[in-house]
Structure 1
């Protein structure tokens, strides 16, 4: 499959992210909880940090459908590129899902993020909303404000992902990303309450990005928008 360099990097980055972020819950299910909740969260955070630092200079490293929509809504990304980015993100996620299915046969649940039976639909929706809000607030800071130290962007975003999964992992899986759930759902054939993982992260992302736009301070005599960094997730 051929993509232009930026889309190719987005595809590969999404594949790597989904593969490694999903491995821990699959291993836990197959081998009886050998990975602690914090280690599970740390794996996802390290995957994000690694991809940002290695591919961010090529394309910005979105790897997240809700991030792409939020950045586009606030003019940090052109609308014309959205269909291509969303397409490669979905394809990368699905490919990762089937790769995991081959590696960890039998697949069982396949690491699909679904709400825990102990919480309501409303609780799951709000949980995914608030963690994605937090995630996009952090990403928008490091991606659009040049006063933030660029070398620490990957670490800041990875830390936000780790924190969010520590908090939400036991109840919703801590998706924050529609394609994080979609690829595994397709591979496992499990679409239970998939809509939550599309609606909540998208709304949370738009609100998180919008909140930083409201609260950020401009430099004195600077009325022009800040250029977007090239390493956003």
Structure 2
């Protein structure tokens, strides 16, 4: 079957790959992976934007601590319960960073980015339908008293740290396994605690694009589309300095997931 689909040369190459890598080349699982990214990003944005929305609706002062903890814990949970399906990127710049490291196929990046944005938009549509268009649906904006330039720098630096954490814990050199979810979730919480008042600590173009499109609140959106990309590029450069080229089994397995149904067979 593999030879008939891909030809003898590619089939021979696939047979030398580990099982999880061969499964990732099977496009029959692509729908599951894309749904995983959509669903995970939906949950992340629902928690991230929903805190600001409920703060405005209830007037009870949810508090910044709860607002920044919710998305961090959501990411932790999503990585643990379905990271093996798609890698649980949940963020366009993470997909780009993995691709730049050679851990993820570039041909899959557009699909991942598209469903991440769709998941973010669906989360904001649900918030708007349930609570109304309040608090700009949790749109990320520079905080009062902070300039666009300051927000840009902070978002870039925060994303540098986030993507460095993701790439580092994905590396087999660290041997942290499922604890990578704890590291990533903890970083998101810490970044929000110290830098949330400056920029909203988005670190994720999809997270910012969702409420911006649904609310709509396009003011300063450029910051949250470009600064995370700058930070991610810097993180890839830092990863090269720390660990050399990517493409190793640990990073690739984390970026791609290890989806393998029990009935999977390779002929």
The normalised TM-score by structure 2 is: 0.80
What residue number does 1:72 align with? 99
1:60 aligns with 2:83: no
Q: CA RMSD in A?
A: 2.1
Give the structure with the higher percent helix.
Answer: 2
The normalised TM-score by structure 1 is: 0.91
Residues 224/68 of structure 1: CA separation in 2 closer, same or farther (3 Å cut): closer
Listed as ranges, the gaps of 5+ residues in structure 2 are 1-29, 257-267
1:163 aligns with 2:186: no
Residues 232/20 of structure 1: CA separation in 2 closer, same or farther (3 Å cut): farther
d(CA) in 2 for partners of 1:47, 1:199: 24
What residue number does 2:76 align with? 49
What residue number does 2:25 align with? none
Equivalent residue pairs, number: 227
d(CA) in 1 for partners of 2:177, 2:244: 18
1:6 aligns with 2:29: no
d(CA) in 2 for partners of 1:195, 1:124: 11
For the pair shown, the structure with the greater C-alpha radius of gyration is 2
What residue number does 2:115 align with? 88
1:49–1:157 contact (8 Å) kept in structure 2 = yes
What residue number does 2:62 align with? 35
CA deviations 1:167-223 (Å, max 9, x no partner) are 2211211100000000011110110110100100011012113212212389xxxx9
1:172 aligns with 2:199: yes
d(CA) in 2 for partners of 1:65, 1:46: 19
1:192 aligns with 2:219: yes
Deviates more, 1:207-216 or 1:133-142: 207-216
1:132–1:204 contact (8 Å) kept in structure 2 = yes
